[in-house]
Structure 1
Amino acid sequence: MTTPIARPDLSRNSHPAASDPSDSAAQLERLIGIMIRLRDPETGCAWDRVQTHETIAPFAIEEAYEVMDSIAREDWESLPDELGDLLLQVVYQARIAEESGRFSFADVARMIGDKMVRRHPHVFAGETLDADLWERNKQAERNARSEHGILAGIAPALPALIRAEKLGKRAARVGFDWDTPEEVLEKINEELGEVRAELPGGDKARLEDEIGDVLFTVACLARKLGLDPEACLRQGNAKFTRRIETMEAVLAESGNTLSDLDLAAQEALWREVKIRLAALAQGH
């Protein structure tokens, strides 16, 4: 049986001063209470009542990326709101689990607290810090969960580019890696050759397989250079967006759009905009 949680007063946002540490506990209690009300089978929200672990899981990923976006833009005013959206997903999942008697929010908080203490014995137990301590502790946890093998614990549901970087990093720990970035570049060229070989046949499954090899190897090149492949791609996306939006702005001055230009004219404008933006970036 799940122990009932007393409902706090949700009618007003009264709390101690922001500097009071008890305020965090009070506001978290209020949020948990709000979720209990929303999930009430009789008086709750019709949408919230029917959600399941599976239906709301995608929102956690979306909210995490919105947090990342606020940080990347250094939008500190919106960051608390985005962090709140992410926290709501944890409270939501915990409430659904508690209704089924699986676990509660308290279990979630206790487990992550215990994990942080366990992984930081140099802080909480007076042990000497060494470079491999974190990974040894994580490996011990994986062993306790009967997760064996060098790739154990890397979630399949991670975004593919992030997972590629993690898989390559984990394999590199046992020496299964290229020695230099130049060797990775050679491998990329080899994989691109295999894509070219498949182009005439047009077999989508085979092309998907070969392009996957290219993308995985590119992620490994970024890792080998000490770069985050996800951050590299975000930067590439942002650069492409700036150039397209600038092209559209240039054309709008004459009442035209990109679709009014043929490919040759689009490419000429692309080169012009590329030079213009590069000059702006250099302060010219």
Structure 2
Amino acid sequence: MEPRPVDPAAPPPATAAASLEALAELLAVVDRLRDPETGCPWDLEQTHASLVPYVLEEAHEVADAIRHGDDRHLAEELGDLLLQVVLHARIASETGRFDLEQIARGISAKLIRRHPHVFEAVEGEQPSNRGSGGDSAAVRRSWDAIKAEEAAARRRVGEDSPPGPSASPLSDRLAGKVRGQSALAGAMTISRKAAAAGFEWEGLDGVWEKVHEELDELKEAVASGDRAHAQEELGDVLFTLVNVARWCGIDPEEGLAGTNRRFLDRFSRVEAALGGELGGRSIRELEGLWQQAKAQIRAESGPRDAGP
């Protein structure tokens, strides 16, 4: 099937029209909230920097809703995340830096540019042999190649620093790639790319040796009372455990999210058993209730539940 060109002037389908109407309503609400005369004092105080915790929080809540398969919750959390995008666009537009139109047109142009196998006929472009609509691995390679071309073009016009040829091209690319990821996800990205470049252990045993080495260094740092050093060593332990996860084909983000859920499930049962009052209880009593909670959950869900 020949790829269909995109006609920006074509009227949107009914569902798209309804979405645009809803988005216009959201823009009007945010405009009202940011109105200097009649807006909300809290919203008027916000800046790009002050909203960073909320952007991260909403993104994580979206991921949590996806993990739970809760469509109602997911729709709500995606709305909260969309609000963050609109708020940032409004704040930037107030000083003439950029607006939501630039954001939307920019991402549309990027998607078209990075999907030549889909949009190759757009505006008379010659067919491209990069990527294939039926081969996701080829598409991934094409995506990476186009991103590399874009980065090279930015360097040529001085948008990226440092200027001139880089002595550490992989490190430079990874620094940009992981800046928008959580620390745990960023560690996995770095680990995978470094391993693919040849910076790798010979076997899993070597990774485990590194884990024990880093744990010993963490213990020494904690015993020394140097919190800054201990924090560095804790980071080293976590990074090495991410390498274990990579070797074993395990997703550390999902693993930790699952542990959080299991902990809260068990902890809620401990609280319920004590009528919500944990104060004054011995650790032996609490541990006993914890083990009871684990046993209850195991009986309800089967033998696969495990963890602390």
The TM-score, its normalising length taken from structure 2, stands at: 0.76
1:271 and 1:33 map into 2 onto residues whose CA distance is 53
Structure-1 residue corresponding to 2:217: 194
Q: Quick one: percent identity of the two aligned structures?
A: 41
CA distance 1:71–1:201, change in 2 (3 Å)? same
Where do residues 46-195 of structure 1 align in structure 2 (5 Å cutoff)?
46-125=41-120, 126=127, 127-129=129-131, 130=138, 131-146=140-155, 147=160, 149-150=169-170, 151-156=174-179, 158-195=181-218
Between stretches 201-210 and 211-220, larger displacement belongs to: 201-210
Structure-2 residue corresponding to 1:264: 284
- What amino acid is the match of 1:54? A
Aligned residues of 1:35 and 1:91 also touching (Cα < 8 A): yes
CA distance 1:263–1:51, change in 2 (3 Å)? closer
2:105 and 2:267 map into 1 onto residues whose CA distance is 48
Per the TM alignment, residue 226 of structure 1 is displaced from its structure 2 partner at its CA by 2.3
Quick check: 1:248 aligned with 2:257? no
CA distance 1:145–1:89, change in 2 (3 Å)? same
Per the TM alignment, residue 216 of structure 1 is displaced from its structure 2 partner at its CA by 0.9
* Local SS of the residue matching 1:175: coil
Aligned residues of 1:171 and 1:177 also touching (Cα < 8 A): yes
Quick check: 1:210 aligned with 2:233? yes
Aligned residues of 2:266 and 2:294 also touching (Cα < 8 A): yes
2:74 and 2:175 map into 1 onto residues whose CA distance is 33
Per the TM alignment, residue 157 of structure 1 is displaced from its structure 2 partner at its CA by 5.9
The TM-score, its normalising length taken from structure 1, stands at: 0.82
CA offsets per residue over residues 104-125 of structure 1, 9 Å max, x none? 1111001111111111112112
Gaps of 5+ in 1: 1-17
* Local SS of the residue matching 1:77: helix
Gaps of 5+ in 2: 1-12, 121-126, 132-137, 161-165
Among 249, 253, 256, the alignment partner of 1:233 is 256
CA distance 1:248–1:229, change in 2 (3 Å)? same
Aligned residues of 2:178 and 2:189 also touching (Cα < 8 A): no
2:252 and 2:178 map into 1 onto residues whose CA distance is 17
- What amino acid is the match of 2:224? G
